[in-house]
Structures are given as C-alpha cells and as structure tokens.
Amino acid sequence: MTNVPQNNLNKFQDIFASADLSTYDPYDIWKTDPGVYVKDLFNKNKFVASIPALALSLADQFLNPTLRRVYTKQEYPIVRALAAQIALNRFLQTKEQQFLRVAEMHLKWLTDNRSVGYSGACWGLGFKWPAASGVIYDRNTPHATHTPYAVEAMHRYTEATKNQQFEETIRSCFAFLENDLYVMYEDDSMMATSYGPFKDRIVTNAVSYTMYMYAILKSYLPLRSGYIDQKIEKLYNFILTKQLPDGSWLYVPDDENSFIDCFHTCFIIKNIIKTSKTVNLNRWKPLVERAYTFLCDKFYDPKSGLYKRFAKANKLSLTKFDLYDNAEMLNITNMMGDYERNKKLGIAVTEHFVRNNGIYSVRDFLGINRNVNTLRWAVMPYLYAISTIE
C-alpha cells in the first residue's frame, strides 16, 4: 500500500484533533437569507429561479475569498462525529491514549449539541435547508442521514473502550427512529421511512442510513432484537427493489427527474455492507457488486484518476470534481477490498486536492481548486476515509 494516505493523515492531524471544529462551508451562500429564498424558489420552479441561482453560484465561486469575510464559521454534528471516528481509528492503529481523549472530547460535544424537542437523541445538518419543493428543514431539524454518524461514533467508542458513558444516549436514539421518523411507504415485504421528523420525502440513501442505525441499536436493545430484524429486512427490501438494472439508485426513487451521483451511491453501498455484519441480508453481495461496478464504470475519469459527480444530473453544476465523491470512493474501494484502485485514487486525490497545508473540496470547471479546509464538505470525510486504510 502507498504511504500517501498515512502521510496526509499525519500532516493534517491538527484538523481532526482540534477542540474547535468550526468551519466555513461550500453551502455558506445558500445559508444566507437570499440563498435560502433562491434555493426554495428553485425547488418550486427551476425556470423562474435559474438565473438568480446561477448568479449566486457564480458570485460565490469567483468572489469566494471576499465573501468569506461576511460568512460565519460554525460547528456541524457530522464533522464532530467523523473526527471522533478518525481518532478512534488512529487509536486502534497506534494504541496511543491521546486519540481516545480526542474521540471522547468530540462525543461529549455531540451529547451536548443534540437537536432539541424530539423523542430521543438525534442530530441534523445544522442550518436551514430548503431540500425540495415544500420541504424546508430548520437548523434544529434532525435527519436520518446525520444521526447515524453520531450513533456509530459512540458505538465504536463503547466497543473500543468498554466505557458505558454513551450507552444511554445510543439507546435513546431508538425512540427517535420509532417516534419521530415517519413511515412513508409500507407493504407486507418492504418499507421506506422519512428523511426528517415529518412526512417529507423518500430518499434512497436516507432509507439505508435508517436501516444501518437499527443494526447498530440491535445489540443495545436485546429484547427488541426480533422487531429490529423485521424493520431492517423491510428497509433493505425497499433498497433492493429500487435498485435499477444497471446497479444504480435514483436519489429519489421512482422519480424520473431525480439524479444519480457518486457519493450518495457510496452511502447506500457502505450502509448495506455495515448492516450485513449484524443481520443476514438477502442477496446483498450481488446487489453491492452491481452497484460497485456501476460506480467504477460510470464515474471514473481516466485522465485525472478521479471520480465524477453525476451519472445522471438534473441541474447545472460549476463543479468538475468534488472531494466528497472521491472521499467516499476511497472508503468504498477499501471496504470492497479493491486495494489497487484505492491506492491509485489516494494518489490522484492528493495530486488534485491537497496543496501545502490545505485540502480543497472542489475542482471547478476551469480546473481551479475552491473551498480550502471546509471540514463538513468534504475534508473530514476525506480524512476519515484515509484513516480506514492500514
């Protein structure tokens, strides 16, 4: 294996080990009042909003250094959860106690910064987000896609240390799944749950995260084991049924106007693989192999050695390559045991996204790197991915 990932992890250790993980973000422009308004309008009418959306995108793209002076850094739960897992990976690799202290620091932050007003512990995006037509999440809204990161980090800490301080928080997440997420579709064999805590929308990767979260909770709720198995089976059957013949999934299933992108496809694959370690999933290996083949065939760019954003796009993008896609591909190639592809991608990511003391999140259509050290998107997912490579 190459030493490039390990060198980068050592080089940027101060990022994940810091007590302050507040960060600028590629979404900063869309968190402003004009950004929220235009994003919401775009979700309702792309034709009407296309010009103001493009104007804001171009302003953020080309005036980024100036705009950073008016944006405000903030903390994100997913950043803390991934930083905790990176520290845990480093502890398991080195046995150095300092990394356990770092992980515990981030997990305590998560317990103190949960979404409030819900049945159990849960976490969300951390800012107001117009996600779809008629669907706007506020900064306190928890999500099926974010809560599992915190739960997994606490679970892995508990397994590594046998320290039970986070067990009650983990168990309480069951109430969030049962009482706050909604069943959007269910029949005798499958079901799909909501993205957030109301009847919002069915999103394929969100269903896979809910499935994986139930799998984590199974060992903490032995009296509910059979019930949890049934939930997982029905959620998995939904994912299995919605896989397209080429191995892909639409972001929103059964919506011809939806998109197919790289990192959301990776999310589904990794959640299936992780869930399969706890529950016997029907035909999961051929399902994952079809999806992985699709990723490798449809997203790979041989000239750069990177993976592209979309196999099916539904809007204009100024981004040519995104670190998030490639970070998740690093994770998946490692999980699939495709070490040669993983090694080549690790070198390509370093070549295209890492500059001196900075990690960039985007390479735009002009070939210019943008968004340096934006932790949520996607420096921390990248550091996590390389921390899993031994």
Mean pLDDT of 323-329: 98
64 vs 129, which has greater pLDDT? 129
pLDDT band at 2 (very low <50, low <70, confident <90, very high): very low
Residue 357: pLDDT over 90: no
The residues spanned by each domain of the chain are 4-25+74-387, 33-71
119 vs 66, which has greater pLDDT? 119
Residue 344: pLDDT over 70: yes
Look at residue 322 in the predicted model and tell me its pLDDT: 98
Q: List the single range of 28-32, 56-60, 279-283 with lowest mean pLDDT.
A: 56-60
**Which is it for strands 135-137 and 310-312: parallel, antiparallel or unpaired?**
unpaired
> Which CATH number, 3.40.50.740, 1.50.10.10, 1.20.140.10, 3.30.70.120, labels domain 4-25+74-387?
1.50.10.10
Residue 3: pLDDT over 70: no
Which residues, other chains included, contact 139 with Cβ-Cβ below 8 Å and sequence gap of 6+?
124, 125, 126, 127, 128
pLDDT in tens, 100-135: 999 999 999 999 999 999 999 999 999 999 999 999
pLDDT in tens, 156-188: 999 999 999 999 999 999 999 999 999 999 999
Which residues, other chains included, contact 240 with Cβ-Cβ below 8 Å and sequence gap of 6+?
282, 283, 287
310 and 264 in contact (C-beta within 8 Å)? no
Look at residue 67 in the predicted model and tell me its pLDDT: 60
pLDDT band at 41 (very low <50, low <70, confident <90, very high): very high
With tokens 């993976």, the residue in question is: 307
Distance between CA atoms of 39 and 27, rounded to whole angstroms?
A: 11
Q: Please name which of 390, 266, 275 lies closest in space to residue 327, comparing C-alpha atoms.
A: 266
316 vs 241, which has greater pLDDT? 241
Residue 63: pLDDT over 90: no
Proportion of the chain above pLDDT 90, given as a percent: 90
Distance between CA atoms of 312 and 155, rounded to whole angstroms?
A: 35
Q: List the single range of 100-104, 136-140, 188-192, 366-370 with lowest mean pLDDT.
A: 366-370
193 and 135 in contact (C-beta within 8 Å)? no
Mean pLDDT, the chain, integer: 95
Look at residue 1 in the predicted model and tell me its pLDDT: 41
Look at residue 192 in the predicted model and tell me its pLDDT: 98
Look at residue 38 in the predicted model and tell me its pLDDT: 95
**In this structure, what token pair is assigned to residue 182?**
């909604």
Mean pLDDT of 11-18: 93
Q: How far is CA 264 from the centre of its chain?
A: 8
65 vs 363, which has greater pLDDT? 363
Distance between CA atoms of 345 and 326, rounded to whole angstroms?
A: 8
Q: Please name which of 273, 264, 348 lies closest in space to residue 311, comparing C-alpha atoms.
A: 264
pLDDT in tens, 233-243: 999 999 999 99
Mean pLDDT of 12-31: 94
Residue 390: pLDDT over 80: no
Residue 58: pLDDT over 70: yes
Q: State yes or no: cis peptide before 378, omega within 30 of 0.
A: yes
With tokens 């592809």, the residue in question is: 341
Look at residue 64 in the predicted model and tell me its pLDDT: 64
Look at residue 151 in the predicted model and tell me its pLDDT: 98
The one-letter amino acid code at 57 reads S
Q: Please name which of 210, 239, 220 lies closest in space to residue 149, comparing C-alpha atoms.
A: 210
Residue 76: pLDDT over 60: yes
Look at residue 316 in the predicted model and tell me its pLDDT: 86
Look at residue 6 in the predicted model and tell me its pLDDT: 73
Distance between CA atoms of 39 and 332, rounded to whole angstroms?
A: 31
Indicate the angle between helix axes 284-298 and 262-276, nearest 10 degrees: 160
